[in-house]
Structure 1
Amino acid sequence: MSIHPKSPGPDKPRFFYGWYIIAASLVMLLLVNAVGVGIFFKPILEDDKFNWDRATLSSVYMYASLLFALVTPLLGRLIDRYGPRLMLSISVVAQTLSSLLNGLASAMWHIFFARFFYEIKPYQSSQVLINRWFVGLRGLAQGIAAAGMPLGALLLSPLSQYLIIIWGWRPTMLFWAGLTLAVSLPLIFIIRNKPEDKGLVPDGSLPTVSSRENESSYPSAAAAESPGRTLSQAAKSGSFWFLSATQLICGIGCGFMMTHIVIFATDFNYSEMIGATLLSVQGGFNILGVLLMGHISDKYARHKVLGWTHFIRSLAFFIAVTFILLDGANLWLLYLSMALFGFGWFTTSPLTSGLVADLFGGLRMGTIIGVTMSYHTVGMALGAYAGGLTFQITGSYYAFFLTQGILEMLAVGFAFAIRRQKARV
């Protein structure tokens, strides 16, 4: 018997290159939350150059997000035509420009375009990229990469808040602009658009799907390279619209929380640093959410996992209502709310992109993911603005939290209604 280890065969490399793709995506997504809107919302309001109220700044963010929603499907087409690597490069430049423009802003249009560039995040491209590199482990792979977003909230939100205290919000923005470019740009050279570019196949070897609850509902490795359905074919499926509806509702909640949660805490006389720690709690629990639910979605029906995720999110908003009714005296309730919201915060994104690949798949998935993401972006715009407007009219966020809790329950029903259907052509 030979004592020398066998060299890996051509169909099973020693270490699958796809995991390098995951690592690069995670780092790029991590840096996005260094300049999360919630941390900078109050400092911008207090800047002498602006003197805006919450509704005004929220409306600026809303219109910028709506503009981005219009171009999101076009970005998806670019991904399908030229590959995710090009769009990831554009995202790195856009994130850098966003922080740079924010740091130098002196007029409303500067903040508007800074927010627009901020919305060109790496995750649309990374989701398509990971769907190409992974099939049998798609949920887990998407979850690991998506963990970059909550990890950024966990680690970088408190750091940004600290830097704002000692430097001010403008120098902090300029600092992150330089660091984002210096760290993210070299990572582009690691990216390959598909495993075939490295002489590989998805997952490193042909996956098995026998452990799935409904094997016929999920694609084989060969399906990752099939053309898949066109957008018009996908739009004839009820599941496409149910999925888009969940994204709209998800976006409303995310837009509100990411914009208003820090200033919401200060309304009850808690410090800005407490508000930043709320974002850290959100980020910490979301790491658990994306990894756990991503893994579970590889074993059970992904649409049901999405439904349960929205149910957990609904509890977060109802608990926030209780916090308000108790006049903010129980801070632990707010932390509990953020923990539950965090568990489901970015968790919906990899589940949704995985469902797009499962249901409509193939080389056109960038366009379809782009359209579903546009619904999420519209939701974020509405959530950010509706939160500011609700406070402006009522002096409280109570009505928003209650309404969003009900909407999240509605999203549970939409998610469970998703089925793998044959589109009418």
Structure 2
Amino acid sequence: MTSQPLTNDPSPSELPVTGRSIPEAAGPRLHYAWVVAAVCLLVLVGAAGFRSTPSLLMDPLNMQFGWSYGIISLAVSINMVLNGLTAPFAAALMDRFGIRPVVAAALTVMACGSGLTVFMTQAWELLLCWGVLVGIGSGAMALAFSATVTNRWFFARRGLVTGVLTAASAAGNLVFLPVLAWLINSYGWRSASLLVGGAALAVVPIVLLLLRERPADLGLLPYGATSREQVEQDEQNARKAVRTVERSAGPRALRVLRQAAGTRPFWLLAGSFAICGATTNGLVGTHFIPAAEDHGMVETTAAGLLALVGVFDVVGTVFSGWLTDRLDCRRLLGTYYLLRGVSLLFLPVLFARTVHFSMLIFIIFYGLDWVATVPPTVALCRQWFGADAPIVFGWVLCGHQVGAAVVAFLAGVVRDQLGSYNLAWYGAGGLCVVAATCALMLRARPGDLPGDGPGAAPGSAPLAVTG
């Protein structure tokens, strides 16, 4: 059945889109966009185990194999770099081949990488399994996946949905961190690798059964799109996307990078997001637990604190998504980075053998800010880069992962050389000031609403911009 263009005289109850009859107004039934969002949330929760594991493996691998913190951190760094480099290509692959096959393949690769670590005896095997295989697989599970789903299925509530999906990673930490810490203490580190690999494989059938590519596949409009003009704009954006997709995903991702890299907003977003990665996944996510153990805290207690960061991260990220739909995203980002920097400057004096009230205050404060930066960053990519925003965000996310990788490795070297992480915490606090400056240097596009706004047509902003 071929696509039919919209005409000026549709029947009162239907509009033809991509050859299907679509109700102009949604009935009382739950929109399938929410089912897709729920599946994506489950996928991201299942994949979160891979992000929870590295910090727990530092001491066990150091004790069993004698590998330095720097070597183990190098595996984490390779993982993060490949995660970032894969993200934009994964977004383009999803455009060309579909979300379901890309996500199912990525989960399988991650499970294989984690499972094979139980047989390793040499450091290069850690670099290959946890660094290369898990890094490539997790790249497709990165935030570009959330951005692609949100752009396709939601016209309204995009900021809120982005916040919820982003918070799924934190929710995964809540599930996995305490369990993995208990498993490692009780049965050894190999049990943790097997658990996260099995969790990834368990999600694959759900993806294949329930995930759908686009609303039009089910004869639906995106959630929140009810007017004829909105459908026409979506049709125009879809035709534009078809014309710009090359025969393979790689050239498209590189073309989008080449165009975006000629703009000032891209580098400000990528630079600030690199610091975001450096001060979250790279430093705290990787080194908080071994740093706490340096001060005599037991691993399960430190893992519980990091999981508690995830509790408040869920609240902070969802609330950030709500704010993104209503406030100036540039000011939101600047505020988030400044608050994060202040909290990191205080952290070195808060570590102790037991958990004090001051550490709980840090966990709450820092947790609310952990990935609150994601919804406004996604919204700014959408404002500036329109229909190519998911791929642009994939490249911005690449910067996030490169920043995380560099700091994850350098913090391990600092610990090896100085016997303490203090210099890393202070340096991260200073970097947050730089990130806040980058966010505030972004100028507003003429006519932009706060955040993205449900009334802004997706893909309406051109890619080739100056400033």
TM-score by length of 1: 0.86
Which of 147, 152, 157 lines up with 2:172 in the alignment? 152
1:284 aligns with 2:311: yes
Which 10-residue stretch deviates more, 399-408 or 178-187?
A: 178-187
2:264 paired residue number = 238
- Aligned-partner Cα distance in 1 for 2:133–2:370: 22
Shift of 1:330: 6.8
Shift of 1:386: 1.2
1:212 paired residue number = none
For 1:268-417, list aligned pairs within 5 A: 268-323=295-350, 331-362=356-387, 364-417=388-441
Aligned amino acid, residue 233 of structure 1: Q
2:58 paired residue number = 41
1:174 aligns with 2:189: no
1:83 aligns with 2:109: no
1:28-67 Cα deviation digits (max 9, x unpaired): 11122324121222222222xx211111211232234334
Shift of 1:68: 4.2
- Aligned-partner Cα distance in 2 for 1:419–1:116: 38
Contact kept, 8 Å, 2:56 with 2:289, in 1: the verdict is yes
- Structure 2: stretches of 5+ with no match in the other structure: 1-21, 228-232, 245-254, 446-463
Contact kept, 8 Å, 1:248 with 1:379, in 2: the verdict is yes
User: Match of 1:402, SS?
Assistant: helix
- Aligned-partner Cα distance in 2 for 1:112–1:357: 35
Shift of 1:377: 1.1
1:112 aligns with 2:96: no
Aligned amino acid, residue 128 of structure 1: T
TM-score by length of 2: 0.79
- Aligned-partner Cα distance in 2 for 1:88–1:419: 35
Contact kept, 8 Å, 1:135 with 1:221, in 2: the verdict is no
- Aligned-partner Cα distance in 2 for 1:344–1:189: 35
User: Match of 1:347, SS?
Assistant: coil
Change in 2 beyond 3 A, CA 1:420/1:155:
same
Which of 113, 121, 139 lines up with 1:98 in the alignment? 113
- Aligned-partner Cα distance in 1 for 2:185–2:293: 15
1:225-254 Cα deviation digits (max 9, x unpaired): 454994333222211111001111011112
Change in 2 beyond 3 A, CA 1:331/1:54:
farther
CA RMSD of aligned residues (A): 2.6
Which 10-residue stretch deviates more, 330-339 or 97-106?
A: 330-339
User: Match of 2:25, SS?
Assistant: coil
Contact kept, 8 Å, 2:320 with 2:375, in 1: the verdict is no
Shift of 1:288: 0.7
Shift of 1:101: 2.0
Aligned amino acid, residue 251 of structure 1: G
Contact kept, 8 Å, 2:155 with 2:225, in 1: the verdict is no
Which 10-residue stretch deviates more, 157-166 or 173-182?
A: 173-182
Change in 2 beyond 3 A, CA 1:77/1:40:
same
- Aligned-partner Cα distance in 2 for 1:354–1:91: 26
Contact kept, 8 Å, 1:88 with 1:126, in 2: the verdict is no
Contact kept, 8 Å, 2:88 with 2:394, in 1: the verdict is yes
1:326-368 Cα deviation digits (max 9, x unpaired): x778733333333332222232234323322232121x33321
- Aligned-partner Cα distance in 1 for 2:222–2:236: 10
Which of 131, 143, 147 lines up with 2:163 in the alignment? 143
Contact kept, 8 Å, 2:156 with 2:224, in 1: the verdict is no
| Identity value in percent | 25
Change in 2 beyond 3 A, CA 1:307/1:194:
farther
Aligned amino acid, residue 273 of structure 1: T
Change in 2 beyond 3 A, CA 1:183/1:74:
closer
Aligned amino acid, residue 39 of structure 1: L
- Aligned-partner Cα distance in 1 for 2:396–2:155: 20
For 1:203-218, list aligned pairs within 5 A: 203-206=223-226
Which 10-residue stretch deviates more, 142-151 or 341-350?
A: 341-350
- Aligned-partner Cα distance in 1 for 2:443–2:214: 28
1:148-193 Cα deviation digits (max 9, x unpaired): 1111112221011112222211022113322321234322332222
User: Match of 1:192, SS?
Assistant: coil
Aligned amino acid, residue 132 of structure 2: F
For 1:35-74, list aligned pairs within 5 A: 35=50, 36=52, 37-47=54-64, 50-74=65-89
Aligned amino acid, residue 434 of structure 2: L
- Aligned-partner Cα distance in 2 for 1:221–1:144: 24
Which 10-residue stretch deviates more, 83-92 or 155-164?
A: 83-92
1:423 aligns with 2:465: yes
User: Match of 1:346, SS?
Assistant: coil
